Amino acid sequence: MVVVIDGKAKAASVIETVREAAAGLEQQTGVKTGLAVVIVGDDPASHAYVNSKSKMAKECGFKSVQHTLPEETTQADLEALVATLNADASIHGILVQLPLPKHLDSVPVIQSILPEKDVDGLSFVNAGKLAAGDLETGMISCTPAGSMLLVRSIHGEDLSGLNAVVIGRSNLFGKPMGQLLLNANATVTMAHSRTKDLAAVCRNADILVAAVGRPQMVKGDWVKPGATVIDVGINRVPAPEKGEGKSRLVGDVAFDEASAVAAAITPVPGGVGPMTIAMLMANTVIAAHHASGKSAPKF
Ligand code: GUN
């Protein structure tokens, strides 16, 4: 029987650790962990994500600040806001929700966030630390960090001898995920849209991580028998069976087919999704500990 990996339960246990760590820090030092989330424009999906981030921060006992900026915000205004948050000692984590509206250039905005407040792990300093194998002093991007906790719940800390395939090579997910798997001694293949015979590459994976953004693209016969499948996709597709105009969420993996072959698999929803927010809270409380000269909790 396939193990359906319970991301909700794992995320809840991460959140509990965060809550305790935040309370402990406040009791010891008087420092309240602070997270600022910035969103520009009106994209409804982004607003839903950001609202749940702000809400969870409150539930963790953080100071939670949300800046909602209009679509017509200028590059200079957005960078000025980041500069203000950088200088605000009560804010330990800054997240600028991506994607930004088309007229804004995300690179200088993201790179202007102080690395020690970059809870997305996107600054060149944090990306470089991860690439160099420093998992202690930098910030690791939340979705790969959360996916890695799910991998570890199946395989433990050491992935020696295992082949891992990551489909997708984004800075936000694929690249850091590949680095984390490599750090844990897996033999890693980074696959992407230009990979030849992707199905055959995937069939070699003991750990298959899909982050392609295409609903149910990874089929059952792409999965090696006994593999662990981590589905990072969140795709909304029409669901006429639920009624006219209704939709449902599916991953990048054809779940039913893949479950018949895999030994462990993450569902969508309820797999990687809840881990992303949990790890954002984890990164924020880690940043608050670093800023206060205290040793940070481990996840
Ligand atoms: N948009 C979708 N996922 C993310 C994320 O993890 N961080 C940011 N900043 N934007 C996102």
- pLDDT value at residue 63: 98
- pLDDT value at residue 210: 98
- pLDDT value at residue 149: 98
Take atom 8 of ligand 1 and give the residue whose Cα is closest: 97
Q: Is the CB of 118 under 6 A from ligand 1?
A: no
Residues with catalytic roles = 53, 97, 120
Compute the distance from residue 172 Cα to the ligand 1 centre, in Å.
Answer: 7
Q: What is the mean pLDDT of residues 12-41?
A: 98
Instruction: Give the residue, out of 172, 272, 281, with the most ligand 1 atoms within 8 A of its beta carbon, to mutate for a pocket test.
Output: 172
> Sign (positive/negative) of CA torsion 123, 126, 132, 133?
negative
Query: Tell me: the pLDDT tens digits for 143-160?
Result: 999 999 999 999 999 999
Query: Tell me: the pLDDT tens digits for 103-133?
Result: 999 999 999 999 999 999 999 999 999 999 9
Q: Is the CB of 266 under 6 A from ligand 1?
A: no
Q: Which of 231, 220, 169 is nearest to 194 (CA)?
A: 169
Q: What percent of the chain has pLDDT over 90?
A: 100
Q: How confident is the model at residue 23 (pLDDT cuts 50, 70, 90)?
A: very high
Instruction: Give the residue, out of 120, 171, 234, with the most ligand 1 atoms within 8 A of its beta carbon, to mutate for a pocket test.
Output: 120
Q: Which of 128, 124, 54, 63 is nearest to 280 (CA)?
A: 54
Q: Is the CB of 43 under 6 A from ligand 1?
A: no
Concatenating the DSSP letter of every residue in 48-86 gives HHHHHHHHHHHHTT-EEEEEEE-TT--HHHHHHHHHHHH
Compute the distance from residue 224 Cα to the ligand 1 centre, in Å.
Answer: 30
Q: Which of 46, 35, 171, 49 is nearest to 100 (CA)?
A: 46
Asked if residues 5 and 227 have their Cβ atoms less than 8 Å apart, the reply is no
Instruction: Give the residue, out of 52, 54, 66, 95, with the most ligand 1 atoms within 8 A of its beta carbon, to mutate for a pocket test.
Output: 95
Burial per residue of 59-84, b for 16 or more beta-carbon CB atoms within 10 angstroms, e otherwise: ebbbbbbbbebeeebeeeebeebbee
Compute the distance from residue 283 Cα to the ligand 1 centre, in Å.
Answer: 14
- pLDDT value at residue 216: 98
Compute the distance from residue 134 Cα to the ligand 1 centre, in Å.
Answer: 22
Take atom 2 of ligand 1 and give the residue whose Cα is closest: 98
- pLDDT value at residue 269: 97
- pLDDT value at residue 121: 97
Q: What is the mean pLDDT of residues 255-281?
A: 98
The phi, psi pair for 112, rounded to 5°, reads -85, -10
Q: Is the CB of 95 under 6 A from ligand 1?
A: yes
- pLDDT value at residue 237: 96
Q: Is the CB of 36 under 6 A from ligand 1?
A: no
**What are the tokens at 274?**
């809840």
**What are the tokens at 108?**
């200088």
Task: Find the farthest-apart pair of alpha carbons in the chain and give their distance in angstroms, rounded.
Answer: 56
Q: What is the mean pLDDT of residues 56-62?
A: 98
Q: What gap in Å lies between CA 32 and CA 248, rounded to an integer? A: 38
Query: Tell me: the pLDDT tens digits for 183-237?
Result: 999 999 999 999 999 999 999 999 999 999 999 999 999 999 999 999 999 999 9
Q: What percent of the chain has pLDDT over 70?
A: 100
Residue type, 95: L
Cα(first)–Cα(last) distance of the chain, in Å?
28
Q: What gap in Å lies between CA 184 and CA 36, rounded to an integer? A: 31
Q: What gap in Å lies between CA 295 and CA 120, rounded to an integer? A: 20
Q: Is the CB of 120 under 6 A from ligand 1?
A: yes
Compute the distance from residue 161 Cα to the ligand 1 centre, in Å.
Answer: 32
| 3-state secondary structure (DSSP) of residue 207 | strand
- pLDDT value at residue 177: 98
Compute the distance from residue 98 Cα to the ligand 1 centre, in Å.
Answer: 5
Q: Which of 254, 250, 253, 219 is nearest to 234 (CA)?
A: 250
| 3-state secondary structure (DSSP) of residue 272 | helix
- Per the prediction, the chain carries an average pLDDT of 97
- pLDDT value at residue 265: 99
Q: Are strands 93-96 and 34-40 parallel, antiparallel or unpaired?
A: parallel
